[in-house]
Amino acid sequence: MLHTFELDGEYLALDVNSGALHVLTKLAYDICGKLESPLGEKPPVELFELGYPKEEVELAYGELYSLFEQNLLFSPDFVVTMPDNQKMPLKALCLHVAHDCNMRCGYCFADTGEYCGKRELMTPETGMKAIDFLIESSGHIKNLEVDFFGGEPLMALDTVKIVTEYGKSRASQVGKSINFTLTTNGALLDDETIEYLDREMYNLVLSVDGRKSVNDNMRRFPGGGSTYEKIIPAFQKLAKTREENGTSYYVRGTFTAKNLDFSEDVFHLSDLGFGEISVEPVALDESHPLALKDEMLPRIFEEYEKLAIGLVKRIEQGEHINFFHFIVDLEAGPCVYKRVKGCGAGCEYIAVTPSGDLYPCHQFAGMEDYRLGNIYSGFNDSAKPLRKRFENANIYTKPECGKCFAKFFCGGGCAAAGVKYAGGEIENNYKIGCELERKRLECALYLQAKTSSGN
Amino acid sequence: MKNIKTINKKTYSDTTFAGCGECRSSCQSACKTSCTVANQLCENKKRLEKTADTVTVR
């Protein structure tokens, strides 16, 4: 399978089954549009009807044929036999230390922190039990992860501190390590907390939507008031420290139907000094007033292109700016196993609620049909078929993925989006999510082509 | 080549037989800042050099 596209005057070809990315002349691009696999040694006669000189067509075709022979163009499809369950043990927890929040965001998927349940914080005991569960379930895997999530996890900072200390100690005792991450809205960040988080967390996700008007329209305190004014100085301090230390963080925003000009939010965050930026499409039922809809796709595609072109300019001017969804590593990216199954929910990755209930991921928390067990009693036997379905969901078993050019970069999409927005099954594809994934990949590849050496 | 510049030197065939599981668990949900596997890095960074018996380096 070959995917060709044009963006900002660049003609690009992604050979889907090898991952090879080619920058083409307009002639080679036009020829590719006429070709079908397998290629023959001689150019098909219809290529000479494209309006280019015969010798030029023969030269370009010869070059394309050479790539075909090297399995870099129209390379053959392949099927990866996924590792058996023994090779995919649990390795990551989403630890919901707070089912409560001190903001009221317009697009919150978590029912303003309650997750359709009650407002509660996780006790340190439950958090430590979750650490034990993770380590005992992790088999041969040495690199483990725990993400403190909510609600707002800093509302349970005592639990965060105790669980982090316990987790690092327990992991080292058994020759493993746990990378702790935390996602925060920033409302409770003070100097002491910033110092703690910078010291103890492997990665930090800092939630802010961009421009003040956009942010404050969506991300509100319960009693009103600008969250932007409160959080930006703290986020800037934290980000500066992380950049100086070379440690990970992201400022992370959401765009909705109300700010389809979201490239302005990305550039605003960049202008505030943030180098690691993620601004992502909201995922909501189409009946929601903030939801992205099919008819908005051309506008969103245009905005992604504008963002990609703008990023190239800023990078060329020496600015440090990484837009998370345009990052691809064509040389040392994930192995094919990882590419075949992106979502680890229900097998590699489990969410734990404050009461210790286990769910396939944070998106399912509070959905009784998807409760897999409890941290104190383990996985329910009755949940085995469901866990098996999660394990089996990958680009080969999801019907829509097979024909998609982005499949080895996407990994199959979000199971929860399939359940919530695409007909109720984890194997279903959320159409808007897929469309945006494909567009983002084109932009990411364009960025690679523009910023790679020699171009 | 006059008409084609290939950006990457390695392709999937170079990594097909990895699968050690030590990489970050990826979440595809928008709210977790993932939505893709492509921006993840291989934790087993040395495999390309060390495992020439199982991995073809172009």
Per-residue pLDDT, A341: 86
pLDDT at B42 over 80: no
B58 in Cβ contact with A18 (< 8 Å): no
Per-residue pLDDT, A339: 86
- In terms of Cα–Cα distance, which of A281, A195, A206 is closest to A236? A206
Query: Confidence band (pLDDT; 50, 70, 90) for B1?
Result: confident
Segments in chain A below pLDDT 50: 85-86, 454-455
Bigger pLDDT: B1 vs A435 = A435
Residue type, A137: S
Give Cβ neighbours of residue A171 (< 8 Å, ≥ 6 apart).
A135, A144, A177, A178
Question: How many Cα atoms occupy the beta-carbon half-sphere of A394 within 13 Å?
Answer: 21
CB-CB under 8 Å, B45 with A440: no
Decide if A349 touches B, using CB distance below 8 A: yes
- Chain A hits for B15, Cβ within 8 Å: 334-336
Query: Which of A27, A142, A278 shows the shortest C-beta gap to B33?
Result: A278
Return the number of CB contacts < 8 Å for A and B.
Answer: 216
**Distance separating alpha carbons of residues A99 and A101, to the nearest angstrom:** 7
Beta strands A10-15 and A2-7 are antiparallel
Give Cβ neighbours of residue A5 (< 8 Å, ≥ 6 apart).
A12, A442
For residue A242 the two structure tokens come to: 């992380």
Per-residue pLDDT, B17: 54
Q: What is the pLDDT of residues A391-443, one digit of tens each?
A: 989 999 998 999 999 999 998 989 999 999 999 999 999 999 999 999 999 99
Residue A340 distance to chain B (closest CA, Å): 9
For residue B55, give the chain A residue with the closest CA.
A335
Per-residue pLDDT, A320: 93
Per-residue pLDDT, A171: 98
Q: How many other CB atoms sit within 10 Å of the CB of residue A442?
A: 22
Query: Which of A75, A78, A335 shows the shortest C-beta gap to B15?
Result: A335
Q: What is the pLDDT of residues A259-296, one digit of tens each?
A: 999 999 999 999 999 999 999 999 888 899 999 999 99
DSSP codes joined into one string, A378-429: EE-GGGHHHHHHHHH-STTTSTTTTT-TTHHHH-S--HHHHHHHSSS-TTS-
Q: What is the pLDDT of residues A74-106, one digit of tens each?
A: 999 877 776 654 467 899 999 999 999 999 999
Per-residue pLDDT, B45: 57
Residue A382 distance to chain B (closest CA, Å): 24
For residue A380 the two structure tokens come to: 């329910």
Query: Which of A27, A282, A409 shows the shortest C-beta gap to B37?
Result: A409
Residue B3 distance to chain A (closest CA, Å): 5
**Distance separating alpha carbons of residues A387 and A360, to the nearest angstrom:** 8
For residue A339 the two structure tokens come to: 């590419």
**Distance separating alpha carbons of residues A143 and A137, to the nearest angstrom:** 13
Q: How many other CB atoms sit within 10 Å of the CB of residue A310?
A: 17
**Distance separating alpha carbons of residues A397 and A122, to the nearest angstrom:** 36
ipTM of the complex: 0.88
Note the pTM of the prediction, 2 decimals: 0.93
Coil vs helix vs strand at A194: helix
Query: Confidence band (pLDDT; 50, 70, 90) for B49?
Result: very low
Helical H runs in B1-58?
Answer: 47-50
- In terms of Cα–Cα distance, which of B54, B4, B23, B53 is closest to A329? B23
Decide if A159 touches B, using CB distance below 8 A: no
pLDDT at B51 over 70: no
CB neighbour burial string for B11-20, b if at least 16 within 10 angstroms, e if fewer: bbbbbbbbbb
Per-residue pLDDT, A83: 60
Note if the bond before A151 is cis, omega within 30 degrees: yes
Using CA atoms of A387, A392, A398, A399 in order, give the dihedral in degrees to the nearest 10.
Answer: -120
* Rg of chain B in Å (alpha carbons): 15
